[in-house]
Amino acid sequence: MRVQGGVSLIELMLVVAILGLLLTLALPSYQGHLASGYRSDAIANLMKLANLQERYYLSYQSYTDDMTRLGLAADPWVIDGGRYALDAESAGADSFLLKATALGSQAASDPGCASITLSDQGARAPAECWQ
């Protein structure tokens, strides 16, 4: 009698169950890391906007709330990937407040940091989002 090699149905089901368990444990952590990475990108772009505001101030002695005057494509400026929209919430002769607003799935996956701000004085809010 010949012994046939191969994988039994029970062995296959066991492997599928283990993979499913690993996926359910790993996926939320992975999504959290992705959201944190996208938030870091938004923060870097807020810092870039602050630098552009300071350059604008040197030329015109006031800040602007129009992102196109800073050389960006649109107002508000949606950064690559479409996860955040950046805009000057307020800007005047002596101050500005920049705001990054999470869009779409980013707002759902990172609700505590759905709105991140940076002022001309360097005030950052919410503090836990800047860490």
What six digits make up the tokens of 59?
């030329």
Tell me the three state secondary structure of residue 112.
helix
Question: pLDDT tens for residues 7-58?
Answer: 889 999 999 999 999 988 888 888 888 889 999 999 999 999 999 999 999 9
**Amino acid identity, position 69:** R
> Is the omega angle on the peptide bond into residue 28 within 30 degrees of 0, that is, cis?
no
Position 3 pLDDT exceeds 80: no
> What is the chain's mean pLDDT, rounded?
90
Give the residue-averaged pLDDT of 64-77. Answer: 88
75 φ/ψ angles, rounded to the nearest 5 degrees? -130, 110
Find tokens 């552009």 and name the residue: 52
Question: pLDDT tens for residues 80-94?
Answer: 788 999 999 887 889
